[in-house]
Structure 1
Amino acid sequence: MDAPSEAFLWVKALHIIAVVCWFAALFYLPRLYIYHAMSEDTISHQRFQVMERKLYRGIMWPSMIATLITAHFLVDWGDATRHYHEALWFYIKVGLVGILVLYHLLCGYYRKKLIENAHYKSHKYWRFFNEFPTLILLAVVILVVVKPSF
């Protein structure tokens, strides 16, 4: 197997950075929803709305897009030597990332609902909702590192 090109390694580094930023936002936004649902005063509601908007639009969207674009290049460039398209783990991982994109969009939907009504759902609901990306992260990392042969 040939050594990866310098361009491939740069894209891989950018991909890891984008994934870390995306997951940081995916972990933090629902945490803000917990605090938002527990807040009682108008000032707090307004503060959480601003924080949620900036996180969702300014960090989550750009990092998700960067993650998906760099992933495309990594698969495209790496498939010649790594044969991703022949491995079941790869398709499971892509499916999990697809679910994560849906979760991301659901976060945006919920953000708008919270603007209308901060008590749209209880803080207990948000605590459970907040754990979902952790499960996806665990599965994806195991799939990528272990590359199980099913």
Structure 2
Amino acid sequence: MVAPLTKNERTAANQVLALLHHLPPESVARVLTHVEHVLDPEEGDGPRFSRGIAGPLGKLEHALKTKVDEHTHTLFLQQCSMQSTDASNQLRNCVYALVHGRSYDQMVVEKLSHEAQRTQALAKLIGPFGGPEFDGANGGGARTE
């Protein structure tokens, strides 16, 4: 169900309708799709939470969109709630599972696991890395165990 428009929104909608009334339906659809694309914060210069976030296969910067019926939407939101996630994350998981055979969350966990294993292997090869530890009781020198 669409929420009722505010007075300002109704005025803007009426102005848009007046401008589009002479165009054929397919042109109206193209114009509105173009306007939506320009104004969409996922595509434009608005705030983007996924900007700069690297996923297991690269930067997350391409938006995917679709429309579904109200019943499916309600059930989908219930699924998200039961899994304690949001719709965006759930859609991302579905797309990755469809394309890669594993959800996005699974791929992130696998990447982190591989990085931890690599760090452990490096530590075994070259020894622990990091700054030396100091012990005040030892006169400020290197810590001995």
- Give the TM bin, normalised by the shorter chain: under 0.3
| TM-score in terms of structure 1 length | 0.26
Instruction: Determine which structure has greater relative contact order: mean sequence separation of CA pairs < 8 Å that are 6+ residues apart, divided by chain length.
Output: 1
The structure in which a higher percent of residues are helix is 1
Rg larger for: 2
